[in-house]
Structure 1
Amino acid sequence: MKVSKKNIAITGVAVSLAAVMLVGGGTFAYLKGETDPITNSFRTNQVQVSLEETTGNEYNIIPGTTQRKDPKVTVKNSVDAYVFVEITDETDNLVDYAIADGWMPVDGVPNVYYRLVSAIQDIKEFSVLKNDEVRYSKALENHDMTDGSGSLKRDINLTFNAVAIQAEPFANEEEAYKAKDSVITSDADVIEAAIMDRMPVVLSADANVDSAVLDRAGADIDLNGQELKIGGTTPIALNNNKSISLKDGTLVLDNRNGRRVGIAIFEGGSLELNDVNMTTNEVSMVVDRGTNNATVDIIDSVITSTDNYVLSTNAGDPETGANVVINIKNSTLITQISDSTAVLMNIPGTLNIEDSHLEANRQGLIVRCGNATVKNSTVKSNATTNMIQQNNWDYYDSNKWKSGNEVPVAAVVVGNRGAEGAISYPHDATLTSINSSFITASNRHVYAAGYNGHTATLNGIDSADVIQSTGFGGNVVIHS
Structure 2
Amino acid sequence: GLDATVEVRNSHITALGFCVSSNARNESTHGINIRIENSVLESEHVNGYCGSAVMMNVPGTLYIENSTIIGENNAVLARGGDITIVDSKLFRPYAVVGADESSYYIDKDWGDGNFVPMATLLVGNRSASAYQYPVNVTLKNCTITAYADGAKTVYLYGNAAKENGATLTYDAATVISPTDEAVDPVIVGGGCVTVNEPVTSAAAA
Give me the TM-score of the superposition, normalised by structure 1.
0.36
Aligned residue in 1 for 2:33:
325
Which among 195, 201, 204 is matched to residue 478 of structure 1?
195
The code of the aligned residue for 1:433 comes to: L
Cα distance in 2, alignment partners of residues 377 and 434 from structure 1: 8
Give deviations 1:125-173, integer Å, cap 9, x for gaps.
xxxxxxxxxxxxxxxxxxxxxxxxxxxxxxxxxxxxxxxxxxxxxxxxx
Identical pairs, percent:
31
Superposition pairs of residues 12-411 of structure 1, within 5 angstroms: 291-305=1-15, 307-317=16-26, 319-337=27-45, 338-339=48-49, 340-384=51-95, 387=96, 390-393=98-101, 394-411=103-120
Give deviations 1:81-128, integer Å, cap 9, x for gaps.
xxxxxxxxxxxxxxxxxxxxxxxxxxxxxxxxxxxxxxxxxxxxxxxx
Q: Alpha-carbon deviation of 1:345?
A: 0.4
Cα distance in 2, alignment partners of residues 332 and 428 from structure 1: 27
SS in 2 for 1:451: coil
RMSD of aligned Cα (Å):
1.9
Which among 400, 422, 437 is matched to residue 143 of structure 2?
437
Give deviations 1:422-453, integer Å, cap 9, x for gaps.
x5212100110000011102441111111231
Cα distance in 1, alignment partners of residues 64 and 104 from structure 2: 29
Cα distance in 1, alignment partners of residues 90 and 59 from structure 2: 21
CA contact (8 A) 2:132 2:159 kept: no
Q: List gaps (5 residues or longer) in structure 1.
A: 1-290
Aligned residue in 1 for 2:134:
428
Q: Alpha-carbon deviation of 1:320?
A: 4.6
CA contact (8 A) 1:342 1:364 kept: yes
Quickly say closer, same or farther: Cα 1:416–1:367, change in 2 above 3 A: same
Cα distance in 2, alignment partners of residues 378 and 342 from structure 1: 13
Cα distance in 2, alignment partners of residues 355 and 432 from structure 1: 14
Aligned residue in 1 for 2:179:
none
Q: List gaps (5 residues or longer) in structure 2.
A: 177-183, 198-205
CA contact (8 A) 1:362 1:383 kept: no
Give me the TM-score of the superposition, normalised by structure 2.
0.81
Aligned residue in 2 for 1:171:
none
The code of the aligned residue for 1:298 comes to: V
Which among 404, 408, 412 is matched to residue 121 of structure 2?
412
User: Is 1:467 matched with 2:187?
Assistant: yes
Cα distance in 2, alignment partners of residues 314 and 346 from structure 1: 7
Aligned residue in 2 for 1:56:
none
Question: Which contiguous aligned blocks of 4+ residues in structure 1 show a shift greater than 3 angstroms?
Answer: 461-464
Count of residue correspondences = 179
Q: Alpha-carbon deviation of 1:321?
A: 2.7
SS in 1 for 2:21: strand
